Structure 1
Amino acid sequence: MPEDQFLTPQVLGGPAVDLANCAREPIHIPGSVQSHGAVLVLSLPDLRVLQASANTAGQLGLAAERLLGQTLSSHLTRESLAMLRKIAALNDRPHTFAVTLLQGHTFDATAHVSQGVLVLELEAPLSPEVAADIYRSTQQALLDLEAAHDVPALCAMAATQVRALTGFDRVMIYRFAEDDSGEVIAEARRADLHAYLGHRFPESDIPRQARALYLKNMLRLTADVNATVSPLVPPLNPLTRTPLDMSQMVLRSTSPMHVQYLKNMGVASSLSVSIVQDGRLWGLISCHHTSARFIPQQVRASCEFLGRVLAMQLKAKRDAETFRFRESLKQRHQQILNAMMAGPLPLDAVRRPELDLAGFMRSGGVAVRLGGQGAALGETPGATELAQLLAWLRTQDQTTFHTASLGALFPGALAYADKGSGLLGVSVSGPWEEYLLWFRPEIPQTVTWGGNPDKPVQVSRDGQAQLTPRASFDAYVQQVQHTSLPWHPGEIAEAESLRDALVETTSARLAALQHLHDQLQRAHDALAQSNAELQHRNDELAQFAYVASHDLQEPLRILGAYSDILRHRYQGELDERAQMYLRHIGEQVFRARQLVRDVLTLSSITGQPPLTDLDLNKLWQDLYPALPWPQGAQVECGDLPHVHANVAQVQQLLTNLFGNAIKFRSDRPLHVTFTGEQRGRWVHLALRDNGVGIAPEHAEQVFVMFQRLQNRTEQLSGNGIGLAVCKKVIERHGGHIWIEGQVGVGTTVHFTLPALPDQGAH
């Protein structure tokens, strides 16, 4: 809110504050301070008193009128003056220290620079014995916070330790929701007090400008709601003729509205400590006492320190819990991603019942659009409703969206609350052109409020409505509709991770497949025109593949080398995410180089290859040592006949086939058998393994380029070209290749090659 929209402070003649204008209350410039301490406003650099709180006579023994215009060198020791000048030079956050008057009195002081002046706050000091006890109590509190095993236990321990440290009757951990309402999630209290644990409080209980100040000043104390505040003398800074900005002051007087709120609650003294995470006010440590209670500077400092530690521990424990949750989804995540990547159309995989894409996010239904096709699985809005929702999502300027109360944000969703009260969506491409949308049904909930949140107006005895803070804090139970179970942070992270994987791989894969389709279509058209033209284009394609392979390999090699250099040279300086990105770059460069090599191999198998008498036994003996056999592998090879074939192409054929047997092995020790026999003009060969196997319905699909039916993990990776190369080699020799297999049992690859001409004649 711009400052010129604030009211004039009441101490300067402004209007009384009530609920009609409290949103404009200038709580940062009240013009007065609490009576348990004194304030001096000093000019810089001479430290001359410009303003003083009216209670300095009682607190310091020096009347405000007498102090005005004087320099502090007339009243403070040399050491205190030196510290003030040092703080003035720093010109940053508030600093705490001790100030001693020339008369010998020592005060706890807080000083900071604001609007070009030095603000000095003075309070009664704490005895050394009590200070030592506070230090020990703070140490124990830190140990107990670190020992808490999860967020609820951490918050409960924080409330207990702050109450032990401060002596307040009640200490609550108060967490803000997305709508700025708050909920008490932990509480330590005097046994005879009413419990607020689990109660919610509306956003209006802590106005927006108050929440903004909680970010600037981590701690707020109201020592006595019944004490008279002490105004500044004079009310305005004589140099600037403006009120003093008290945003960072400890002694800043409390808003009259909040004072009345505390009185209505039966609270005489309060202390609030901000819990800030990622620059956002996550919640408060809120302390209440039924009588006036002054909290010394060192105790407040310990509370503020515990608040910062609590914020860090909350984030660490939430991150750890999110990590554990995501680990439980890791296998399902990989299965879904593998299925989407295995075929040319990811949507075909989405429809597979065993993947249960809706259940992956504990939702009732999921709507998906990928590769230009859409599908709805489970309970989802209708097509028209979905189109309206997507139109609204495009206005939100977000690529990830999640809410447990969609109807509150998009009223059109109320029509299908039984299906979509909760929404978790990620945009895969464009402004929600391709997407994943998970829906959760409405689950009516019971919410307990600390008083009726809808009745801020109190009626006086004469029947007139009075705008005052809520006077009733009795439990008020409300039935909440059109809400779903909230989305777990781990589910949100998993959705984003799945989206990122699809963005990185699916789009590129679909583009590559489309490009391949276009090339095949052009080749088909060329074939219809002329076989000669087709041969010419094939020659050009082979030449292009060779040139592309040669020209791409070098930049890819350099890119991989530089990623390794960056990852190792700056190890320890980059955060974990940056390291992950560099590893991912290296992996993708390796895959790209392998893909280029495989494409070159495939393109090189053209025309009729030169054939020769090929001794398969000798070829096998040369090939065996070069293969990456796993430990414990058993390989049996019978006496193989000679064939009439091309040596290089058959060597490539066997390398691919044995490589697949090694790559797609099961948990059992690998057992491979390679046999062959001549049958007339052909030699029939078979390679059997006991690996993961293949379903009979996929026996033909595996020979299609870029088809990968196995799990796509680090151990089982490839480019989907290997068997396509094998088929092309066999077809160039006039033979046949086929697969028999059973999932979990193993696979047998059969193929035929020409026998030697003189032997085949018999």
Structure 2
Amino acid sequence: MSDEHLLAPAHLGGPAIDASNCAREPIHIPGSIQPHGALLVLSVHEMCIVQVSANIPEFFERPAESLLGQPLELLVTPTSLSPLKKMLTLEGRTHTFPVTLLKGLTYDATAHLAQGVLVLELERPNSPEVAADIYRATQQALTELDSSRDVLGLCATAASQVRELTGFDRVMIYRFAEDGSGEVVAEARHSDIASYLGHRFPESDIPRQARALYLKNLLRLTADVNAGVIPLVPLLNPVTGAPLDMSLMVLRSTSPMHVQYLKNMGVTSSLSVSIVQDGRLWGLIACHHTTARVIPHQVRASCEFLGRVLAMQLAAKRDAETYRFREKLKHRHQQILNAMMSSRLPVEAIRRPDLDVVGFMRASGFAVRLAGQVVTLGETPAEPELQHLLGWLREHHPSSFHTNTLSAFLPAATAYSDKASGVLGMSVSGHWEEYLLWFRPEIPQTVTWGGNPAKPVQSGEDGTVDLTPRASFEAYVQQVRHTALPWHPGEVAEAESMRDALVETTSVRLTALQEHHQQLQRAHDALGRSNAELQRRNEELAQFAYVASHDLQEPLRILGTYSDILLHRYQGQLDERAQGYLRHIGEQVFRARQLVRDVLTLSNVTAQPPLTDVDLNRVWEDISPTLPWPADAQVECADLPHVHANVAQVQQLLTNVFGNAIKFRADRPLRIRFTGEQRGEWVHLAIRDNGIGIAQEHAEQVFVMFQRLQSRTDQLTGNGIGLAVCKKVVERHGGNIWIDGQVGEGTTVSFTLPAVSTKTRSSPPVMT
């Protein structure tokens, strides 16, 4: 809403705000502040005081009028002026710092530049001990947020942590809908206070101009609804001749309508933190308290910071969930596009039952028009209704549109809500001459509101309208019709992607097919050349690794031999230190030779192996006798499936895993269990031991080349290559490998390999 549609403020002769005009209330220029702080407004160039709050004597012990026209340097220390002068170049940004008066008192000051004046808010500071507690609480909150797994869990954690940080009786995560209404999706509260979890609230509870301010100023505090307000002296700013814009102020007094709203709700103090995504108000962290509560700057700053973190994590989880959703649709999406773009009559290709264009979007009907041809599938509006809908779309939404409540935008759609309460439409031509439209029927719903969503207006005895926002917040259950299942963001993205692909090919489909074929041929030729070059380089690398290994092994072998000869031939002639040196040389030579062999093994894995049908039972029979089993070892091996793999690399993989189980055994009889089962196109294998185990936070670290969890002096330490080889082998086969373990309880190494019957595999299963 633009400023010209707002009313004049009441303190400048405007009308009283009531339920009939509150949507036009100028809440950014109330002309007053809350009484727990004070305000100074300074001229930019002279740094002289031009406007103050009427309670300024409580802070400076001087009458408010006596401060007007005075330079600030007569009141505060020189060091306090420095950060204020820096603010003169930061239009629209706030900055908080301590300000010390000449008489020795220090306040928290929040400053910002607006309309050619410098606005300075003063509040009493917190103690250093409280600040330290806030820092620790914020750290804990960040840790808890980071561990949340999904959107609802993240919101619930955020509500709990903000309540822990602020001490409010009730903290809610409030999410806005497209129509401006909102829903409480998470809540943390004192047991004695009412719950609003799952309740909806109408758009009028937070009107448009309030939502606009939440985008400008991410934090809003009402410390005490019963405290009254402190007017400004003078009411108009002498520099601008207009009311002071308080949009960015913390102390800005609260709208009388909202104050009454909070009182009706039984709330004395409230704090709201904006959750902003992509420049849009996603929702609020809304805090309520039944008694007055002044929240100091450090706590507010932490809450605002957590709000920003929550917004980023919500966006990340939303994008990740959309990506996962689209990944499930990718194969069918490509099938539909291929069928449409490879046909001279794309519309006819859409009729193919195997493509299931309707079910692709979980819709009940579909309409398409391309190249002058129209096709409808499933349940769709009748032809006259469809043409009326298209005419409305041309006028209001020229490129795309989606909703699950069509009748809220187009009342005539109520007549066919059983077929099209939900619409997802994409204009291919730009003016709906060519289009894709999916439809969903209505699904009657039950919605619980936080009170009757209709805002009542009560009249006084003299017939005047009283200031009466909603007075009841008891759960109000409403049956909602003409509403369909909402469209998932992934479905909207898929429809946009399909539209974009059709736009690129609509005018030149046949030519595009020819060019596409030529591009594929060129890409195939280039790929062949790249593969040949890659093969040549792999062969060179393998040859180099072999030669390097061979050339290094010989001098190392000789060095080890001679150290053994010296140790044995001159035994008794050398002192104990010399013999220790020779033994150490022998040990290091052995480690070096082992390292060279491991590097050669790793280099061999880098080449793409020939794949065959591999019987894992046979592989196990072959490698088991070669392993250095301790006498007390017991191995349970179930009947294992076949895999489509390279037998030599599978042998290397199992040898390394079992070798680790033997090497890192605990001080008890060794027990190992080897299991495997086919799940669709993949074989899941697991090797569990009862060894020394591994902390789960190191489960990824062990796959890093040359990474050792033991120290170099530990007798059990290896070269740090074995599991790196295992990871390389599994990944060369397209699978995944991961570790689950617990220190002292043993380790389970799990991995996936392709099943024998697989010809065209899906993406490999991820770690579970």
TM-score for both structures, normalised by structure 1: 0.67
1:220 maps to amino acid: R
Q: Secondary structure at the match of 2:466?
A: strand
Q: 1:387 to 1:2 in 2, by over 3 A?
A: closer
Aligned position for 2:26 = 26
1:386 maps to amino acid: L
Contact map agreement 2:19 2:468 (CA 8 A) in 1: yes
Give the Å deviation of 1:102. 0.9
Give the Å deviation of 1:387. 1.6
Contact map agreement 1:216 1:248 (CA 8 A) in 2: yes
Equivalents in 2 of 1:434, 1:630: separation in Å?
A: 50
1:104 maps to amino acid: G
Q: Deviations over 1:521-561 (max 9, x none)?
A: xxxxxxxxxxxxxxxxxxxxxxxxxxxxxxxxxxx9xxxxx
Bigger shift: 20-29 or 131-140? 20-29
Q: Deviations over 1:56-93 (max 9, x none)?
A: 11233333122122111111011001121121243340
Equivalents in 1 of 2:257, 2:249: separation in Å?
A: 19
Q: 1:55 to 1:369 in 2, by over 3 A?
A: same
Equivalents in 1 of 2:195, 2:89: separation in Å?
A: 48
Q: Which residues of 2 match residues 60-209 of structure 1 at below 5 A?
A: 60-209=60-209
Q: Deviations over 1:667-715 (max 9, x none)?
A: 999xxxxxxxxxxxxxxxxxxxxxxxxxxxxxxxxxxxxxxxxxxxxxx
Aligned position for 1:353 = 353
Aligned position for 1:252 = 252
Equivalents in 2 of 1:392, 1:438: separation in Å?
A: 16
2:171 maps to amino acid: V
Equivalents in 1 of 2:52, 2:23: separation in Å?
A: 29
Give the Å deviation of 1:144. 1.1
Bigger shift: 370-379 or 442-451? 370-379
Q: Deviations over 1:287-307 (max 9, x none)?
A: 110000000001000000111
Q: 1:349 to 1:588 in 2, by over 3 A?
A: closer
Equivalents in 2 of 1:594, 1:138: separation in Å?
A: 53
Contact map agreement 1:6 1:25 (CA 8 A) in 2: yes
Give the Å deviation of 1:340. 1.9
2:185 maps to amino acid: I
Equivalents in 2 of 1:236, 1:27: separation in Å?
A: 16
2:129 maps to amino acid: E
1:86 maps to amino acid: K
Aligned position for 2:519 = 590
Q: 1:9 to 1:589 in 2, by over 3 A?
A: farther
Give the Å deviation of 1:631. 6.4
Q: Secondary structure at the match of 1:478?
A: strand
Contact map agreement 1:449 1:478 (CA 8 A) in 2: yes
Q: Deviations over 1:194-230 (max 9, x none)?
A: 1101111111111111111111111000000000211
Give the Å deviation of 1:464. 7.0
Give the Å deviation of 1:12. 2.9
Bigger shift: 150-159 or 366-375? 366-375
Q: 1:98 to 1:349 in 2, by over 3 A?
A: same
Equivalents in 1 of 2:265, 2:609: separation in Å?
A: 73
State the identity as a percent: 69
Contact map agreement 1:51 1:68 (CA 8 A) in 2: yes
Contact map agreement 1:366 1:377 (CA 8 A) in 2: yes
1:129 maps to amino acid: E
Equivalents in 2 of 1:103, 1:15: separation in Å?
A: 43
Give the Å deviation of 1:440. 0.4
Equivalents in 1 of 2:611, 2:508: separation in Å?
A: 39
Q: Secondary structure at the match of 1:241?
A: coil
Give the Å deviation of 1:5. 3.8
Equivalents in 1 of 2:517, 2:128: separation in Å?
A: 63
2:519 maps to amino acid: F
**CA RMSD of superposed structures (Å):** 2.6
Q: Which residues of 2 match residues 275-286 of structure 1 at below 5 A?
A: 275-286=275-286
Give the Å deviation of 1:320. 0.2
Equivalents in 1 of 2:502, 2:610: separation in Å?
A: 35
Q: 1:381 to 1:91 in 2, by over 3 A?
A: closer
Which of 1 and 2 has greater Rg? 1
Q: 1:49 to 1:491 in 2, by over 3 A?
A: same
Contact map agreement 2:18 2:465 (CA 8 A) in 1: no
Matched, 1:457 2:386: no
Aligned position for 1:38 = 38
Q: Deviations over 1:575-624 (max 9, x none)?
A: xxxxxxxxxxxx8983486899xxxxxxxxxxxxxxxxxxxxxxxxxxxx
Equivalents in 2 of 1:503, 1:298: separation in Å?
A: 53
Q: Secondary structure at the match of 2:237?
A: coil
Aligned position for 2:496 = 496
Q: Secondary structure at the match of 1:354?
A: coil
Q: Secondary structure at the match of 1:309?
A: helix
Give the Å deviation of 1:462. 7.9
Equivalents in 1 of 2:500, 2:517: separation in Å?
A: 15
Q: Secondary structure at the match of 1:20?
A: coil
Aligned position for 1:621 = none
TM-score for both structures, normalised by structure 2: 0.67
Q: Which residues of 2 match residues 263-274 of structure 1 at below 5 A?
A: 263-274=263-274
Q: Secondary structure at the match of 1:433?
A: coil
Matched, 1:484 2:511: no
1:590 maps to amino acid: Q
Q: 1:451 to 1:632 in 2, by over 3 A?
A: closer
2:243 maps to amino acid: P
Give the Å deviation of 1:630. 12
Equivalents in 2 of 1:345, 1:632: separation in Å?
A: 42
Matched, 1:445 2:374: no
